[in-house]
A and B are shown apart, each in its own frame.
Chain A
Amino acid sequence: GDSVTQMEGPVTLSEEAFLTINCTYTATGYPSLFWYVQYPGEGLQLLLKATKADDKGSNKGFEATYRKETTSFHLEKGSVQVSDSAVYFCALSEWYSGGGADGLTFGKGTHLIIQP
């Protein structure tokens, strides 16, 4: 079955540091890949996505590139802020030839803490 593995936290960085959160996946088909962010007590918000190999998703200074050869989708940001403190989830979705997709498969989440 499908699976997503991401680095476990907490990850603690100083403000303006460079961020990388690793994510690798196993899938039977050709999945879409996502990064979601969750702030305390809230639901998940889509941060960025990529639907095919070599696509780069980007949003709010965050980037991730769909690497089919290494089955990876690492999240990066050049200069983090205190407001980036949250839990980040990597996820994939398989699309079926008959149309439609079932639920997302999530990694366990990475808790990011940015210190001023």
Chain B
Amino acid sequence: DGGITQSPKYLFRKEGQNVTLSCEQNLNHDAMYWYRQDPGQGLRLIYYSQIVNDFQKGDIAEGYSVSREKKESFPLTVTSAQKNPTAFYLCATAGLTRGGDEQFFGPGTRLTVL
């Protein structure tokens, strides 16, 4: 099946620990994105990457890091510097053709920091 896989679906961590969220895609899309969703806040962009080995900060990058070593994978690390990491994290991809710039979303990972 073609699609976007995020794992795990639920993740619990203790305060002060780094945690890495997985995002894998087999859609052959060039661009990948990470968003954070909080109740009543919509989605906010954390990081994005339009090509392997390159990525850019979004609106709320502080306390997060990413890598893009393979086209298929874009893991997000939530570091201990992120002050309020409990949220729903969504990964998305896009093919980046004009008129085809809609993004496709994975099922999300709900992170709870205890």
Contacts and interface: CB of A to CB of B under 8 A. Distances in A.
Contacts, number: 65
Interface of A: 32, 34, 36, 41-46, 49, 51, 89, 93, 95, 99-104, 106-109
B112 to A, nearest CB: 14
B102 A46 contact: yes
B107 A43 contact: yes
B42 A104 contact: no
B103 interface: yes
Interface of B: 4, 6, 31, 33, 35, 40-45, 48, 50, 56, 58-59, 90, 92, 94, 96, 98-99, 101-108
A34 B98 CA distance: 14
Contact of B90 (A34, A44, A93, A102): A44
A30 B4 CA distance: 29
A99 B102 CA distance: 14
A41 B59 CA distance: 24
